[in-house]
């Protein structure tokens, strides 16, 4: 498959940083003996990956702004374009040697995300999307699942992290959704959860309190695969609120309805 010049830049950067993360994952097993060791090591791996991404992306597109999970905001001279980058989404999984983590790169032009790459170096799954051109997993075109009923759907979710988020609300949401779906899943990487909805593996997904770098690329992925994405209101912008609900049009609508009842 022939990629655009922009997509070539993004894929190359993701693959190089991915090689670094994969090497570091191999080291994690050796560090499991020490409690403090792995956390510090992962934080270093994370920063290293972000610096590689910044170096590659800013070299290929000088002047674009850069917002990364680790390094904060780096202003560019070109005020219309901004990279939104998570060098390691699914940090907890990575720390535990669970191969469900990814690099997520989104490119914003003005207020719209126009390109996204999500790459899991552990299994070499590469998701790409460009606005108006569709979404692809390892160059196969993606389409969201077609299931119309929640009771035949597998739905993914996120849960509040230690010391953060609203636990009572999360329990209520789980209690409402769980008995109505074929299966509920919690995989721990928002970027890969969105990618899995785009790929039709999950029929839907919701999570609260996320950051733009967790979801920028994934939102585009779902939309380009024909899915619907919003915040908790059903028509609001998840990049602005940090809350996300998605699926095909029907499943998205059902999830919005259910989660509204909870609140």
Does 38 help bind ligand 2AM (rule: CB under 6 A)?
no
Query: What is the number of the residue whose Cβ is closest to Ca ion?
Result: 89
Should residue 130 be labelled a site residue for Ca ion when binding is judged by CB under 5 A? no
Q: Is 100 in the site for ligand 2AM (CB under 6 A)?
A: no
> Could you say whether residue 150 binds ligand 2AM (CB under 6 A)?
no
Q: Does 91 bind ligand 2AM (CB under 6 A)?
A: yes
Choice from 72, 77, 164, 261 touching ligand 2AM (CB under 6 A) = 164
Residues 6+ apart with CB under 8 A from 35: none
**Count of residues of this chain found to bind Ca ion when the rule CB under 5 A is applied:** 3
90 binds ligand 2AM (CB under 6 A): yes
- Tell me how far apart the alpha carbons of residues 257 and 183 are, in angstroms, rounded to a whole number: 18
**How many residues belong to the site for ligand 2AM (CB under 6 A)?**
16
x-or-dash string of contact with ligand 2AM, 44-63, rule CB under 6 A? --------------------
Please report which helix (H) or strand (E) contains residue 223, including its range.
helix 212-224
Report the relative pairing of strands 102-109 and 228-230 from DSSP bridges: unpaired
Crossing angle of helices 167-177 and 249-262, in 10° steps, is 130
Query: x-or-dash pattern for Ca ion, window 197-226, by CB under 5 A?
Result: -----------------x------------
238: CB partners within 8 A, 6+ apart = 210, 215, 219, 229, 230, 231, 244, 245
By CB under 5 A, is residue 86 in contact with Ca ion? yes
The two tokens of residue 12 are 């190359």
CA-to-CA dists, residue 89 to 118, 159, 188, angstroms = 10, 15, 8
Give the residue, chosen from 89, 173, 193, 207, that forms a contact with Ca ion under the rule CB under 5 A.
89
Q: Using CA atoms, how far apart are residues 218 and 198, in angstroms rounded to an integer?
A: 8
> CB-wise, 50 or 89, nearer to Ca ion?
89
For Ca ion, the binding residues (CB under 5 A) are 86, 89, 214
């Amino acid at each position: 498959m022939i990629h655009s010049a922009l997509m070539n830049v993004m894929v190359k950067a993701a693959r190089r940083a991915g090689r670094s993360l994969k090497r570091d994952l191999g080291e994690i097993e050796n560090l499991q003996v020490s409690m403090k060791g792995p956390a510090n090591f992962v934080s270093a791996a994370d920063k290293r990956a972000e610096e590689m991404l910044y170096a590659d992306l800013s070299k290929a597109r000088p002047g674009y702004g850069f917002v990364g999970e680790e390094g904060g905001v780096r202003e560019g001279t070109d005020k219309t374009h901004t990279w939104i980058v998570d060098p390691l989404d699914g940090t907890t999984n990575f720390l535990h040697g669970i191969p469900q983590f990814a690099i997520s790169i989104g490119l914003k032009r003005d207020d719209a995300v126009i390109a996204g790459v999500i790459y899991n170096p552990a299994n070499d799954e590469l998701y790409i999307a460009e606005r108006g051109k569709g979404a692809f997993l390892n160059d196969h075109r993606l389409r969201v699942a077609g299931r119309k009923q929640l009771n035949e759907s597998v739905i993914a979710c996120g849960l509040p992290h230690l010391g953060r988020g609203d636990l009572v609300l999360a329990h209520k949401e789980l209690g409402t959704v769980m008995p109505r779906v074929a299966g509920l899943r919690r995989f721990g990487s928002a970027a890969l959860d969105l990618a899995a909805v785009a790929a039709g593996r999950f029929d839907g997904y919701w999570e609260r309190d996320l950051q733009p770098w967790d979801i920028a690329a994934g939102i585009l992925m779902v939309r380009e695969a024909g899915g619907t994405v919003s915040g908790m209101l059903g028509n609001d912008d998840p990049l602005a609120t940090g809350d996300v609900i998605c699926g095909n049009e029907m499943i998205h609508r059902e999830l919005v309805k259910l989660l509204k009842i909870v609140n």
